[in-house]
Amino acid sequence: MKNFDSNFVHTVYFWLKNPDNVEDRKAFETSIMKFMRDSKYAKTKFVGVPPKATRDVVDGSFTYSLVVSFESADAQTKYQTEEAHNLFVAESSNLWTKVIVYDSLGI
């Protein structure tokens, strides 16, 4: 993982159609890790799964999360159209039922 860049943070939550399917999880993990390895713009590259929620305010309903930081909003825009991102979407979009994105600019 590269150093966290607080200029622009892109947080994505994925809900797989079949979250208990081992083959689907492996396919998703292989694709997203390849995407993170090959992205030319992402600085921080974190992929995670929800821990067991211990408080009511914690939403652990997602299957995977992705946290990526960028040096600028322009770099994030380029990331959205780069080949690695397009390949990830082509390979994995059939596996998920829902995706929510939260983008933040540092203050």
**3-state DSSP call for residue 28?**
helix
Q: List, for residues 52-79, the tens digit of each pLDDT value.
A: 877 888 888 999 999 999 988 899 999 9
d(CA 72, CA 83): 19
**SS3 string of 42-102?**
CCCEEEECCCCCCCCCCCCCCCEEEEEEECCHHHHHHHHHCHHHHHHHHHHHHHEEEEEEE
Mind listing the pLDDT tens digit of every residue in the chain (107 residues)? 456 777 899 999 999 999 999 999 999 999 999 999 999 999 888 999 998 877 888 888 999 999 999 988 899 999 999 999 999 999 999 999 999 999 998 88
Domains of the chain: 12-104 (3.30.70.100)
Residues 6+ apart with CB under 8 A from 57: none
